Amino acid sequence: KPGEQKQPKEPSPSQCMHLAVVACGDRLEETLIMLKSAVLFSNRRLCFHIFAEDSLKPEFEKKLKEWPASYTKKFDSNIYPITFSVGNAQEWKKLFKPCAAQRLFLPVILKDVDSLLYVDTDVLFLRPIDDIWHMLKEFNSTQLAAMAPEHEIPKIGWYSRFARHPYYGATGLNSGVMLMNLTRIRSTRFKNSIIPGGLTWEEMLYPLYQKYKNYITWGDQDLLNIIFYFNPECLYVFPCQWNYRPDHCMYGSNCKGAEEEGVSILHGNRGVYHNDKQPTFKALYEVIRDFPFEDNLFQSLYYPLQSKFLDTVHTLCGRIPQVFLKQIEKTMKKVYENRVIVYLGANHRY
């Protein structure tokens, strides 16, 4: 009606986008900054599934409640203990980093969740999760998970040079960002190197680990590479800008998608948010960490970021600031436009 403001519709629970993360040890702050980046830019409602050590649970609950109501209404959160349904729990806990193997058990634990985006704690979203969530609709009838390659260039990739076990494709997969149709994973029998017939996901995990445990370096990521080596038809491969790591710029720029579209999801592995080896990655982490939730995005996030980037131009990654800035600028413009349209209301039409 004339004179009435148009109210945005609240998304229904069925539209929830499920995001899972596993946090142990000193990963509390890093995980919270990742979740903050998800909430800042996403459009639809989010459901967080946080797997954490018991000592971290009250900290997560306390910190998330401190966020402004305008953001806490955009998500639900569940915090779970670290559990492993098959095999030896202590062995799984020691596999690569503490508790990282938990991600292998998400299809088993989250029985009521149809689809899920898993990310490592050191991930930052530079555009809405909605955009990677849409990729679920691009899966063909046999695909049930999506990951990005571990590297773009085989001659400098880790798997192609050093792996002593089977791995997917020419350069292997990086599991730091993994989109999954859990319903399909639970109902599929996977080809494997253990028995001639297929095994379910849960049946396969521990025997596979037992067979290859003396040959794997990167823990659960190596097991995922082995699984999709034997089941390549089950994987959807998304491009490098959705899992952009220091390897994509520290040897020279080698992610064409990021050069064209900008980085969509930043993955600060190698501890680069907390050391001075890759100041461009650290700058993004610190700016999102320090952003006051309800401030102006351009004034309190984008402009400080541009300023920090000026100090990184002497580094290989810092020489290509447009790769890091292009997508986040586009995202912030959309967020700003959406807020202005809602604020103006239906009666301010030209």
The CA–CA distances, whole Å, from 188 to 142, 158, 195, 252 equal 9, 30, 15, 40
What whole-number percentage of the chain has pLDDT above 90? 71
Does position 99 have pLDDT exceeding 60, yes or no? yes
CA separation for the pair 24, 97 (Å, rounded) = 9
CA separation for the pair 302, 41 (Å, rounded) = 13
| The 3-state secondary structure of 218-230, one letter per residue | CCHHHHHHHHHHH
Task: Assign 300 a pLDDT band (cuts: 50, 70, 90).
Answer: very high
The β-bridge relationship of strands 115-119 and 173-181 is antiparallel
Across the range 6-35, mean pLDDT stands at 79
Q: Which domains does the chain have, with CATH numbers?
A: 17-238 (3.90.550.10), 241-345 (no CATH)
Asked if 261 and 276 touch (Cβ cutoff 8 Å), the reply is: no
Task: Assign 346 a pLDDT band (cuts: 50, 70, 90).
Answer: very low
Asked if 56 and 69 touch (Cβ cutoff 8 Å), the reply is: no
The closest of 350, 271, 284 to 317, measured between CA atoms, is: 284
Task: Assign 217 a pLDDT band (cuts: 50, 70, 90).
Answer: confident
Rounded-to-10 torsion of CA 9, 13, 17, 19: 130
Across the range 293-318, mean pLDDT stands at 92
Task: Assign 20 a pLDDT band (cuts: 50, 70, 90).
Answer: very high
Task: Assign 93 a pLDDT band (cuts: 50, 70, 90).
Answer: low
